[in-house]
Chains A and B, each alone.
Chain A
Amino acid sequence: MDLTYTGAELVYREELRAWLARTLPALPPAPDPADWPARRAYDTGWQRRLHEAGYADVHWNADPTRRLIFLEETELAGAPYVGANFVGLLHAGPTIAAEGTAGQRERWLPPVLRGDEVWCQGFSEPGAGSDLASLRTRAVRDGDSYVVTGSKIWTSHAEVADWCELLVRTDPDAPRHRGISWLAMPMDLPGVTVRPLRTLAGTTEFAEVFLDEVRVPVANRVGAENDGWRVTMVTLSFERGTAFAGEVVACRRTLRELARMARGTGAWDDPVLRRRMGRLAAEFGVLWRLVQWNVSAGAPGVGGSVLKLRYSQARQELYDTAAEVLGPSGALDADRPWTSDRLSSLSYTIAAGTSQIQRNIVAERILGLPKGA
């Protein structure tokens, strides 16, 4: 059990820190959150800078400890988030890297690393949420193309994406996990309609994607036909271990800011609030150690699920506590950043597998309890 960093890792950290100090002041101002084209330009511009400096593939090839240092330092420095590059860098990209042909890797990976192309994810459907394998978007082979019809939901960045990693049903008669294929779909094909979805936070970061006889080349399939479920699972847990590393760092900073604010307003005199914040300090401190544990342990396993379950809850508690510190005049003002963060935190126990589904997974796959009837 060694929590110290090696000399080489410390050098990596120092160099990264110096690069961030030089680079961040030169960034353009952050875009209006409602302006999607501007957000894409900002996020891909950041990725381009990372690429030029040799940090673009930190999520893919760097050893996990360096990835952790990268996530920690970029967060501490207030660098931009992965944003519109998320699916390309953390879902579609790793899938293609693991399962694609040499030609597919050559075609799709470099533009992701350079920030030239943006991907979105077409997995969930209105009828297939937690039960993803029940997806019904149909792909019928017709010569060199699949003709795809159906609809996808919760697709982030769909409005500005070039590509969609799409799960489709290619064999409706096979057992449900066996009839699915993974396709890379250009978003500008005829028959693709994107409709933004307004979330309870008032933002439009998700969209619905409607597919009406969209012709996707068969050559865009990654992995064998009907093997898409396995292809997806190979990398679905790719980022679980470090998924929230940057966010945990950010939450710890937010907690400190909250404490200072509370001292200023006098709310700090309330021992109930103080103790609640002390408890959160413990929680986020240990979550950070858990991230380090996950990185050390390698393959995401027990720690990934624990992190997802516990972090999502802790984040909601953090922003509920923020509301208390802000008092009604702040907590009810939707323009206050902590208030909008509070609203968006509500998705954390739902997105990427609800906490209830996570508990089923923990119970069945880790603890070995029998499957339900």
Chain B
Amino acid sequence: MDFRLTEDQRALADGTRGLMARLYPAERLREDAAGAAAGTPVTLDRGMWRALGEAGFFALRLPEERGGLGLGLPEAVLVFEEAGRALLPGPLVTTHLAAGWVPGAAEGGTVVTAVDGELTEWLEASDRVLGSYDKAEPVRSVDPLTPLHRVVGGEPAGGVVGGGVTAGGVLEGGVTAGGVTAGELLTCAQQTGSAARTLELAVRHATTREQFGRPIGSFQAVKHLCADMLVRAEMARTAVRAAAVSGDLGETAAARLLADEAAVRNARDCLQVFGGMGFTWEAEVHLHIKRSWILRSRGRSVAECEERLAESLLDETLCGI
């Protein structure tokens, strides 16, 4: 047993962080947010999408003979952690899941979204929508960088759609041998990345911002907020990585709970550390708060995850660890 990242995994994570810094630096994020506030319609940057495709972001888990990198879910969560950290926009998870069976998805030429409940992300910007609906109306999205449509008569993808793979199956992650829903875990990984980023922002601010003649980070009340943020971020990261490695369904539900908690609450605590400055549109904080709400609304609810875990407590076949 060695839970640490291998050298290759470490290199992949570092490389992805570098890729994010080139494709979608924090300045770009703030520009996009400012544009959205000024009424510029939010569009998906196709050049960026293609660059992601070229870097293997979508084809990561496809076998090499099909043009992929032949990596697994553990590697994919490392990559999506970095995407979550940068608040990289777009239907990243659905396009990643569609790679290999929706033409062009793997290369970044095709943008793929999916009907999931009442709201659909990035409907207009997508070339392909998995699932069906009767009517869609734009919603003024709480997250300025994630366009939403409210769909009427929406049906999640189902049936055979190509290559013998059901769309529902792919959406739930191609369902690996252990039954882990990859899509859910990749969303968790994004949440984990966001939680780590808001911790970093809070610590930087607490170190430099002075009040009462000293950095606010020297006050215990602020220190304890930051310490709790670190605890949540570490728990979430451990949960997501473990679930990706083990492929256990219960662990995926646990990862979901802890990653959502980390993203949502860290973003809130980050705002608290920033004080009034964090309440402005200019600060990055609100984008993390809003994106964390969007990601939390995907797929299973908190209640469903908790019930799933409660049920597992009564499963007599799970006597050990």
Contacts and interface: CB of A to CB of B under 8 A. Distances in A.
B28 to A, nearest CB: 27
Interface in A39-93: 65, 68, 72, 76
A26 interface: no
User: Which secondary structure dominates chain B's binding surface?
Assistant: helix
A350 interface: no
A360 B220 contact: yes
A293 interface: yes
Given A259-B310, A281-B313, A363-B227, A369 B207 contact: yes
B33 to A, nearest CB: 27
Contacts of A256: 313-314
A282 B253 contact: yes
Contact of A302 (B207, B234, B251, B308): B234
User: Which secondary structure dominates chain A's binding surface?
Assistant: helix
Interface residues of B, number: 55
Contacts of B215: 369-370
Central interface residue in B5, B222, B241, B314, by most chain A CB within 10 Å: B314
A22 to B, nearest CB: 20
Given A281-B250, A362-B230, A373 B235 contact: no
Contacts of B230: 302, 306, 362, 366-367
A283 B258 CA distance: 8
B163 interface: no
Interface stretch (A3-11, A118-126, A138-146, A216-224): A3-11
B245 A306 contact: no
A363 B1 contact: no
A27 B84 CA distance: 54
Given A1-B245, A278-B306, A285 B223 contact: no
B246 interface: yes
A344 interface: no
B3 A2 contact: yes
B220 A3 contact: no
A359 B228 contact: yes
Contact of B2 (A2, A255, A275): A2
Interface string B217-252: 111101110111011001100110110111000110
Interface in B235-288: 235, 238-239, 241-242, 244-246, 250-251, 253-255, 257-258
A203 B142 CA distance: 55
B69 interface: no
Given A286-B239, A303-B234, A1 B217 contact: no
Contacts of A4: 1
Given A274-B310, A282-B309, A288 B321 contact: yes
A371 interface: yes
A290 B230 CA distance: 14
Nearest to A253: B319
Contacts of A336: none
Contacts of A289: 3, 238-239, 242, 251
B35 to A, nearest CB: 33
B321 A296 contact: no
A326 interface: no
B303 interface: yes
B218 A369 contact: yes
24 contacts: A1-B244, A1-B245, A4-B1, A6-B1, A274-B310, A275-B306, A278-B306, A278-B311, A282-B239, A282-B253, A285-B254, A286-B239, A286-B242, A286-B255, A293-B238, A310-B235, A358-B227, A359-B223, A359-B227, A360-B223, A362-B231, A369-B217, A372-B219, A372-B223
